Amino acid sequence: MRVIVAPDSFGDTLTATAAAHAISDGWGRARSGDEIICAPQSDGGPGFVDALAVSGGEIRNAHVSGPLTTPVDARWLLDSDTAYIESAQACGLALLGGPPTRESALTAHSRGVGDLIVEALDAGATKIVIGLGGSCCTDGGRGLVDALGGVQSARAALRGVELVAATDVENPLLGEIGAAGVFGPQKGADGSAVEILEQRNREWASTLGSGAGRSVAELPGAGAAGGIGAALFALGGDRRSGAEVVAERTRQAELLESADLVITGEGKFDSQSLRGKLVTSLAAASASYGVPTLVLAGQVELSASDYERFGIVGAESVTDFAGSIEDAMRDASIHLRGLAEETAREWSIWRRG
């Protein structure tokens, strides 16, 4: 059997590459006769650059503004005249140095992403693709724009450059399903902090709209990465599915065409996963070739009736396998490998049955 192992990252716990290797190792222990192909994926969040770099290009390093006060080292990819930037490299949750807090939710910014855009422009890039996801900020991309000298200066600097916001999050900037309302609590914001962030972004959206000559706050994806999507739209950017960007570059269709099974996964398989994120996008693509998909996730909060329509035949939880969230996160690679091995044995029994 030919098995394609193509997970996203597991939040801050495992990169997509590390998750792919853990799953492959575990599956191979139980089914040594299978042909296993590792193909780590990304929907624009953490692991975006690594997933793309598999297909070539030059990884570059830059010292940029971190999300709080300390600069960070960020990696980006240059392939010919196209630059691929991962926002999480400059303002990801993992860069906080600990769990997010109310204070970090209110102070984190996206300036480092703007620094990376400057690096790409200086390198001569005429197309800049920015993966959005996994951020710790909710500043509407204000820091990014400030790094480029303001809305008008940024638009001038990017004139003639194809700018792409790569995200599979469809949320707008404002409102109940906006950047602050939905994602703020995941970044440490309590109720009052969400209100502050929402008001800041409402005022900032007016500035973006004035500079761009059009409203951008309500566009699908404007709320991605804490509202960086809105800033990119105001600077002339267009939205593309991050999963599709990776799929095209890694020739995913060719892999699926010859596969017997796809195994994917992410940190939390929940209702957000059903809104065009990588796991369900990949499963739907696999189903178009008649290939079933298994999901191995850190946590599973969906029932079969929620995900079967995507061609997913099962979803297993690392947390359930490990016994607790704490244990699952502490030894993530070991438990994911063990879950993959157990699932492979059950798959063999199921196939025989």
The pLDDT, as a whole number, for residue 183 is: 96
What are the phi and psi torsion angles at 14 (to 5°)?
-140, 135
When the pLDDT of each residue in the chain is averaged and rounded to a whole number, the result is: 94
The pLDDT, as a whole number, for residue 349 is: 64
Are both 337 and 222 inside the same structural domain? no
- Find the domain containing 338 and state its range: 2-41+251-352
Are both 232 and 263 inside the same structural domain? no
User: Which DSSP state fits 135?
Assistant: B
CATH number at residue 338: 3.40.50.10350
Three-state secondary structure call for residue 183? helix
Number of domains into which the chain is organized: 2
* 264: enclosing H helix or E strand: strand 261-264
Are both 191 and 129 inside the same structural domain? yes
The pLDDT, as a whole number, for residue 352 is: 42
Q: Of 242, 263, 282, which one is at a domain's C-terminal end?
A: 242
Start-end of H helices in 189-331: 191-212, 228-234, 242-249, 252-257, 278-287, 304-307, 318-322, 325-330
The pLDDT, as a whole number, for residue 353 is: 40
Q: Of 242, 263, 284, which one is at a domain's C-terminal end?
A: 242
pLDDT tops 70 at residue 44: yes
Are both 268 and 135 inside the same structural domain? no
Are both 117 and 224 inside the same structural domain? yes
Are both 88 and 196 inside the same structural domain? yes
Are both 55 and 26 inside the same structural domain? no
Contacts of 248 (CB under 8 A, 6+ apart): none
Are both 124 and 174 inside the same structural domain? yes
Return the minimum-mean-pLDDT range out of 41-45, 191-195, 307-311: 41-45
Q: What is the pLDDT of residues 175-185, one digit of tens each?
A: 999 999 999 99
Are both 234 and 262 inside the same structural domain? no
The pLDDT, as a whole number, for residue 272 is: 82
Q: What is the pLDDT of residues 211-221, one digit of tens each?
A: 999 999 999 99
CATH number at residue 176: 3.90.1510.10
Q: What pTM was estimated for this model as a whole?
A: 0.86
The pLDDT, as a whole number, for residue 274 is: 87
Q: Look at the block and give the residue holding tokens 């969040």.
A: 45
Are both 20 and 54 inside the same structural domain? no
Q: What is the pLDDT of residues 145-164, one digit of tens each?
A: 999 999 999 999 999 999 99
Are both 205 and 237 inside the same structural domain? yes
Are both 160 and 97 inside the same structural domain? yes
Q: What is the pLDDT of residues 255-294, one digit of tens each?
A: 999 999 999 999 999 998 887 788 998 999 999 999 999 9
Percent above pLDDT 70 for the chain: 98
